[in-house]
Amino acid sequence: MADRCFSLALMVLAVALGGAAWQLDVPFQYEPVGPKAIPLILAVLLLGTALWLAIRPDRLKEAYGRSLFVRHVVVVLCLLVYAWSFELLGFVLSTWLVGTLFARLFGLDWGRALVYSAALGGVGHLVMSGLLELNVPVGTVFGG
Amino acid sequence: MDVLSTLASGFAVALTPMNLGLVLAGCFFGTLMGALPGIGPINGIAILLPLAYSMGLEPASAIILLAGVYYGAEYGGRISSILLNVPGDAGAIMTTLDGHPMAKRGEGGRALALSAVSSFAGSMGALILLVIFTPLLTRLAVTFGPAEFVALMVFALCCLASMVGSRPVKTVIGALIGLAMATVGVDSGTGVLRFTFGLTSLFDGIDFLVVVIGMFAISEILLLVEHHYGGGGRLEKVSKSFVKAADLVQVRWTVLRSTLVGFVIGVLPGTGASVASAVAYGTEKRMAGENNEFGNGDVRGLAAPEAANNSAAVGSMVPMLTLGIPGSGTTAILLGALLLFDVTPGPLLFSQKPDIAWGLIASMFVGNIALLVMNLPLVGIFVRMLSVRQAYLVPVIVMLTFVGIYSIHGASFDLFFMILLGVFGFLLRKLGFSLAPVILGLVLGEVLEDNLRRALSISAGDWGILFNNGVTLTLWTLSAMVLVLPLVMKRRRALRQKQAAAEA
């Protein structure tokens, strides 16, 4: 069932890819193959293989429970919060915040999670920004 | 003689203090990454690649570091296989079969030491083969034109479809997704924007690093959640036992054969360490006949996959360096890394950038010696690392991926896009797709299209140019054979089983 749903999505994607490629027009070109040829070939192949997958799907043995889905949603939300807060709060604060959430999710108690993530943010900043001279945001709320 | 002098100049590059330090760091980090269950060489390189790029390392230094992580992880994969019965990466799956039973009966130290020596022998043997065969292949590849490269890339993709994963159709779909991703951005031939949806961040195409980190590292974090709540393996104690001379004598031919098998399989495009270790294990098991303990802690069953997977890791560098065609998912990332540093792998690499090509090869000799030295006395440290809780590990991985991606362009868009690709990669992995074809498609996509368009420009649009000489015809025939033969053999096997069942 999962394979069939996915192959349906792939077929929609293939049609969209082919449709968009068909509309790629250039006023003039110096070569016989334009920008649309390869995407069109790929769209046709993708449509064909997705159709094949829909006809002969795999029987997936793994069960995917609701509790696992909730945990995955939490992980994705944490990652989105990190991405959103990375520039806004800066590296140290956002790492502290999201590091704590991840440490909690993987079984650390609140106290240890807070201390560990604070250390990770601080040491990480020293290493990444100071030692390796990488572009690490200070945070727009701090004028960075 | 010529090869030896160029190799000597490679050692001059590899033994500079900076590069030597990077080899050692890469090997240590790689062993650690390989030892941690589920992380493996691809994720290790994926996490380090943006950091290496942002740190402004010289191309030779960066590739030396990343290659160190690669073969270090092939070494490290065996530690959790033996002690936890959980393979560190796909290439170490076969090591669990005999390594873990040895650890269970109190011979963990012997198993770890023997596997380290076998890994070393496999790598060194393959490196010698690489030094011999690379110049020969380079000389052949220099004669390749665009049409030959198109046929070669199709061959690489066909090899991938028939050898990676359990379902060829899923492998093909993965490669097509990667190839489609490669078409995003400004078309180099006409300047037309393709599939950018008006987003200026996509004008330069989908960033290779964002795809690699998203699909491998972010999806890995989602998988780690599953492993965490699903329960982990029990760590076996490492005994004081050590490898004996008798063991080494017993496995000498096994190691030699497995090194050859691993190298040949590694050189074939699309296959990798996992296929090599499985084939080497199967070969040794068959050759052992009745007199074997395979599956219950036979030293040959431990030595064979370890020699083969390390040999394959080296072998997969050959097509990457000489033809610009990656031999495995991990070398696809290394190939992408070279392109990031404006270095184009291929036949001209050895004449135009010998410091990079030979520096990398020489660094692999140095790295393998370092790994053996590191792995015999320091194995206790890596073992202790296995017991580090994921609660401490995951925040570090998340932090490294975010800093790595952000420091490339300083744009939050890349972070959000990385998460999106991570969720997509996770979905693909849950549905039984291998991610290596996606990366291979992404890396080969632009080169394939460029060569196809160049070939058709030369022939004024005549597609016959793709089939007009012996090299292209051979490659097309091999592609067809690679696709058709497994299907024919599968059908024949099924038919034979049916007949046997009917007779019974």
Nearest to B391 among A38, A107, A132 (CB): A107
B453·A33 Cβ contact <8 A? yes
Per-residue burial over B216-232, b if 16 or more Cβ lie within 10 Å, else e, is bbbbbbbebbbebeeee
Which pLDDT does position B405 carry in this prediction?
Answer: 86
Predicted confidence band at A45 (pLDDT cuts at 50, 70, 90)?
A: very high
- Answer yes or no: do A75 and A133 share one domain: yes
A78 and A143 share one domain: yes
Looking at residue B53, what is its pLDDT? 81
Q: Which residues contact B96 (CB under 8 A, 6 or more apart)?
A: B81, B82, B85, B86, B87
Q: Beta-carbon neighbour count of residue B313 at 10 Å?
A: 33
- Distance separating alpha carbons of residues A74 and B26, to the nearest angstrom: 33
Contact B406 A86 (CB under 8 A): yes
Among candidates B169, B172, B226 on the partner chain, residue whose Cβ is nearest the Cβ of A68: B226
Residue-wise DSSP of B409-439:
H--HHHHHHHHHHHHHHHHHHHTT--SHHHH
For residue B445, the model assigns a pLDDT of 87
Residues B262 and B128 sit within 8 Å (Cβ to Cβ): no
Q: Are residues A4 and A25 in the same domain?
A: yes
Q: Which of A61, A87, A107 is the last residue of a domain?
A: A61
Same domain for A40 and A91: no
Q: Inform me whether the pLDDT recorded for A10 exceeds 60.
A: yes
The residue type at B41: P
Spatial distance between the Cα atoms of B161 and B163, rounded to a whole number of angstroms:
6
CA distance A86 to chain B (A): 8
The residue of chain A with its CA nearest to that of B441 is: A42
CA distance B315 to B263: 5
Are A70 and A103 contained in the same domain? yes
Hey, what amino acid is at A88?
L
- Can you give the pLDDT at residue B417? 94
* Residues paired with B186 in a beta bridge: B193
B256/B122 Cα distance (integer angstroms): 8
Q: CB of B146 within 8 A of CB of B409?
A: no
Domain limit, last residue, from A32, A61, A90: A61
Query: Strand, helix or coil at B147?
Result: helix
The number of CA neighbours under 13 Å toward the Cβ of B92 is: 36
The distance from CA B503 to its chain's CA centroid, rounded to whole angstroms, is 45
Rg (CA), chain B: 22
**What are the boundaries of each domain within chain B?**
3-468
Q: How far is CA B195 from the centre of its chain?
A: 30
As a dihedral over the C-alpha atoms of residue B228, residue B229, residue B233, residue B235, rounded to 10 degrees, the angle is 60
pLDDT attached to residue B230: 64
| Amino acid (one-letter) located at B188 | S
Question: Contacts of residue A4 in chain B, CB cutoff 8 Å?
Answer: none
**Shortest CA distance to B428 belongs to which of B238, B229, B218, B231?**
B218
Residues of chain A in contact with residue B419, where contact means CB-CB under 8 angstroms, are 76, 79-80, 83
Does residue B223 contact residue B229 with C-beta atoms inside 8 Å?
Answer: no
- Mutation site, B190, B393, B466, interface A, largest A CB count within 10 A: B190
CB atoms within 10 A of CB A40: 16
- Tell me the C-alpha distance between B214 and B322, whole Å: 29
Report yes or no: B438 and B428 within 8 Å, Cβ to Cβ: yes
Give pTM, 2 decimals: 0.81
Q: Tokens 């995917």 correspond to what residue?
A: A64
Least confident of A50-54, A124-128, B225-229, B389-393: B225-229
Distance (Å, rounded) from C-alpha B305 to C-alpha B281?
A: 6
Residues A78 and A21 both lie in one domain: no
State how far residue A63 is from chain B, nearest Cα, in angstroms.
10
A72 and A137 both lie in a single domain? yes
Least Cα separation, residue B25 to chain A (angstroms): 14
Each residue of B51-93: pLDDT tens digit?
888 778 888 898 899 889 888 887 887 887 888 776 666 677 7
CA torsion angle B440 B442 B443 B449 (round to 10)? 110
Q: Assess whether A93 and A111 both reside in one domain.
A: yes
Assign residue B295 a region (left: φ > 0; alpha: ψ between -120 and 50; beta: otherwise).
left
Cβ–Cβ of B194/A108 closer than 8 Å? no
Residue B191: left if φ>0, alpha if ψ -120 to 50, beta else—which one?
left
**How far is the C-alpha of B58 from the C-alpha of B145, rounded, in Å?**
30
Mean pLDDT of all residues in A2-26? 91
Closest Cβ–Cβ partner in A76, A87, A103 for B412: A87
Q: How many domains in chain A?
A: 2
Q: What backbone torsions phi and psi does residue B193 show, to the nearest 5 degrees?
A: -85, 130
Chain B residues with beta carbon closer than 8 angstroms to that of A144: none
Domain that holds residue A22: 1-61
pLDDT category at A20 given cuts 50, 70, 90 is very high
Which pLDDT belongs to residue B21? 92
Please state, in angstroms and rounded to a whole number, the distance separating the CA atoms of residues B489 and B264: 21
Contact A76 B423 (CB under 8 A): yes
Contact B51 A132 (CB under 8 A): yes
Interchain pair B406, A135: CB under 8 A: yes
Verify that A82 and A113 share a domain, yes or no: yes
Burial class for A30, CB neighbours closer than 10 Å (0-12, 13-18, 19+): exposed
Distances (CA, A) of B451 to A2, A72, B147, B317: 37, 42, 7, 22
One domain, residues A44 and A23: yes
One domain for residues A30 and A97:
no
Residue by residue, pLDDT tens for chain B (504 residues) are 577 888 898 899 999 999 999 999 999 888 888 877 666 777 788 888 888 887 788 888 988 998 898 888 878 878 878 887 766 666 777 888 888 888 888 888 888 889 999 999 999 999 999 998 888 888 888 888 889 888 988 888 887 776 655 678 888 899 899 999 999 998 877 888 898 888 888 888 888 888 888 888 888 888 888 877 765 556 666 666 677 888 888 889 999 999 999 998 888 776 667 778 888 888 888 888 777 788 888 889 999 999 998 899 888 888 888 888 876 778 888 888 888 888 888 888 888 888 888 999 999 999 999 888 888 777 777 777 777 788 888 899 899 889 888 888 888 999 999 999 999 999 998 888 888 788 888 888 888 888 899 999 898 888 899 998 888 999 999 889 888 887 788 788 888 888 888 887
Q: Same domain for A103 and A85?
A: yes
Residue B372 near residue B378 (C-beta atoms within 8 A): no
Instruction: Map B17-55 to HEC letters.
Output: HHHHHHHHHHHHHHHHHHHCCCCHHHHHHHHHHHHHHHC
Looking at this predicted complex, what is its ipTM?
Answer: 0.94
How far apart are alpha carbons B497 and B436 in whole angstroms? 33
3-class DSSP state for residue B376? Answer: coil
Quick one: pLDDT at residue B308? 92
